[in-house]
Amino acid sequence: MSHSHPPFARRSDLDALRAVAMLLGIVLHASLSFFPAFWVVSDSRQAPGLGILFSAIHGFRMPLFFVMSGFFTAMLLHRRGPGALVKHRFRRVFLPLLLGLVTVVPAVHWISGVAMSSASQGTDEPSADAKKATIGTAAEAGDLDAIERRLADGASVNDLVGEFQVTPLHLTALANKASAVKLLVDRGANVNAAATDGGTPLHAAAFVGADEAVAALIAGGADVNAVNKRGKTPLDNAIVDEGTTIYFASMLKLTVNEDGLGRRKAAIAESLRQRGAITGKPDNLADLLMQIPLFSHLWFLWFLWWLVLGLAAVSLVGTRLPAVRPPAWLIVSPARYLWLIPLTMLPQWLMGDGVFGPDTSSGILPIPHVLAYYAIFFGFGALDYAYDDHAARVGSRWGLPLAIALLVVFPLGMALTTGWPEPLAATFGGLDPSQRRLLSTALQAAYPWLMTFGLMGLFRRFWPEESPTMRYLSDSAYWLYLAHLPLVIAAQYLVRDWPIPSLAKLVLIVAVSTALLLVSYQFLVRYTWLGRLLNGPRARPEPAETAPAAA
């Protein structure tokens, strides 16, 4: 029995917006080498302002992508049914993911290894901001006089500082400055203070083999069996092998004394055991499968495949249940914020604090709360299609949500999560940690919805109809994002020590990488089997007929 579905006009505006969300990923990854981050290349010209750009993009880009994906997946489900939907997405999502795992991902690992094999040789003078003797920089340097001066000036010995939001005692422990550890503890530092990942200074020192700091922390009363958010103790960190320690330390841009590292870590482990230390919660199979970083930047395709299967299953079950249809105003009116933001706060609360925006999950098994987070955005996109929002009411009055997101919610959220901007962050000093966390979670949940609805309206206003340029951009964006990361890392590595401004480097990395990817798309992908796999068949333009020669 055949089913006919009424036609639904192609939403070229949303197609273009989905493409822009993917292309912003190139800018996002290109910026990572210019500020302290968990990244393989550290540029000689650091620019904290580019970290703000990263957070502004990261906070909404993938949620926006999943809203668009939910919309178009629901469109395909409506037109073809659940069976055809799964077959289509198997070809366009699952097969490209498998292909990327044996081509692009190994290329990412190879160029990352090359980039990490040598440290930057840049000799730039520190910026004026870097020269300021904050409590964090003084603690990291083990400068006892500077620590005393900062404390006398009113600095708090237990404030979370720096990109990774750790206490001064964490920084001193990582630097293996035993005298500074003792000074900070004597001045009231919480020897068991937890960083955003739940780790204590003893966790940090044990991991990097900071043996003198470990001894000073234990003498100061550190809990040898404190557990972080993953249930790991300092002993778990001490028994991590030398190679793994060096690898993750380089990713985190931590300075580690590699001479005798294995020996020092073994001695630390033995010292901890003598004081009654035990290992923490062992990783079960599910934990291991969630931690193995299999998919790299292609994790979104893995998530999308899970969500497609979920939507198809819901569709099949729904045909056997009584129809329940919420009122349209809950979807297309501003009342949607009243349930979307609290709902998004639930998985956002479980994510790491100290970084503005959502977590990602590149393991074989998706982290449940991260999958749930993106499922909310995907599900709303499907609802937006189901409610036949031809008039684009969801994106109406687009200027207001964009202004609120960028001028209010983003700065407040950044102040709470990262301490930027400092004057604004200082206004939250009276909040206790739980209040700060709740407000930060609410702001991080609101930001992607405001940006998503504002950009939907913006693109509906200025790009309502399909144009050859936007169509080409939409077609090429999938390939550009899949293949961009090895090129971006290579470009970052190439320009790492160039004596030019960081913003110029960023523009150069993005421009050159994008140009090379567009050329490869046009000549190697668009009209080939790979192009058909990614976007379906594309017909080559017919050559213009030559005028018949005059007799």
Give the H or E element holding residue 444. helix 433-462
Contact 206, 214 (CB under 8 A): yes
Return the top range by mean pLDDT from 258-262, 387-391, 480-484. 480-484
> Do 143 and 112 share a structural domain?
no
Task: Answer yes or no: is pLDDT of 127 > 70.
Answer: no
What's the pTM value of the predicted model, to 2 decimals?
0.82
| 313 lies in some domain | yes
Residue 371 or residue 422, greater confidence: 371
Task: Answer yes or no: is pLDDT of 131 > 60.
Answer: no
- Assign 10 a pLDDT band (cuts: 50, 70, 90): low
CA angle 279–39–95, rounded 5-degree value: 90
pLDDT in tens, 254-269: 888 888 999 999 999 9
Contact 144, 181 (CB under 8 A): no
Task: Answer yes or no: is pLDDT of 203 > 80.
Answer: yes
| Helix locations, 59-174, DSSP H | 61-80, 82-89, 95-102, 104-116, 128-131, 135-141, 144-152, 168-174
Last residue of a domain, which of 249, 274, 299?
A: 274
> Do 155 and 36 share a structural domain?
no
What per-residue confidence (pLDDT) applies to 392? 63
Instruction: Return left, alpha or beta for 276; rule: phi > 0 is left, psi -120 to 50 is alpha, else beta.
Output: left
Contact 138, 147 (CB under 8 A): yes
DSSP 21-43: HHHHHHHHHHHGGGSSSS-S---
What per-residue confidence (pLDDT) applies to 320? 74
> Do 492 and 368 share a structural domain?
yes
The closest alpha carbon to 196, from 224, 230, 221, 173, belongs to 230
| 3 lies in some domain | no
What per-residue confidence (pLDDT) applies to 204? 94
| 263 lies in some domain | yes
What is the DSSP secondary structure assignment for residue 405, as one 8-state letter? I
| 84 lies in some domain | yes
> Do 149 and 76 share a structural domain?
no
> Do 229 and 172 share a structural domain?
yes
Q: Determine the distance from the C-alpha atom of residue 191 to the mean position of all C-alpha atoms in its chain, rounded to a whole number.
A: 30
pLDDT in tens, 336-354: 999 999 999 999 999 877 7
Placement of tokens 């289509």 in the chain: 88
What per-residue confidence (pLDDT) applies to 215? 95
The closest alpha carbon to 455, from 49, 30, 67, 70, belongs to 67
Mean per-residue pLDDT for 65-91? 95
- Is the torsion defined by CA of 148, 152, 153, 154 positive or negative? positive
- Assign 390 a pLDDT band (cuts: 50, 70, 90): low
| 281 lies in some domain | no
Mean pLDDT of the chain: 88
> Do 63 and 158 share a structural domain?
no
| Domain total of the chain | 2
What per-residue confidence (pLDDT) applies to 547? 45
Contact 513, 26 (CB under 8 A): yes
Residue type, 11: R
Return d(Cα 47, Cα 498) in angstroms, integer. Answer: 14
Contact 458, 405 (CB under 8 A): no
> Do 159 and 44 share a structural domain?
no
Last residue of a domain, which of 248, 274, 300?
A: 274
Cβ partners under 8 Å of residue 189, min gap 6: 157, 158, 167, 168, 169
Mean per-residue pLDDT for 76-102? 95
Torsion angles phi and psi, residue 221, rounded to 5: 100, 20
> Do 311 and 434 share a structural domain?
yes
What per-residue confidence (pLDDT) applies to 389? 61
CATH number for the domain spanning 183: value is 1.25.40.20
Task: Answer yes or no: is pLDDT of 1 > 90.
Answer: no
3-state helix, strand, coil in the chain (%, to 5): 65, 0, 35
| 88 lies in some domain | yes
What per-residue confidence (pLDDT) applies to 121? 43
The percent of residues in the chain predicted with pLDDT above 90, rounded, is 62
> Do 357 and 402 share a structural domain?
yes
Return d(Cα 351, Cα 371) in angstroms, integer. Answer: 11
| 384 lies in some domain | yes
> Do 160 and 34 share a structural domain?
no
Return d(Cα 95, Cα 92) in angstroms, integer. Answer: 6
Domain that holds residue 109: 12-117+289-535
pLDDT in tens, 207-254: 999 999 999 999 999 999 999 988 899 999 999 999 888 877 876 768
pLDDT in tens, 486-524: 999 999 999 999 999 999 999 999 999 999 999 999 999
> Do 406 and 263 share a structural domain?
no
pLDDT in tens, 417-466: 887 787 887 788 778 878 888 999 999 999 999 999 999 999 988 888 87
Contact 295, 241 (CB under 8 A): no
| 540 lies in some domain | no
> Do 299 and 256 share a structural domain?
no
Contact 308, 89 (CB under 8 A): yes
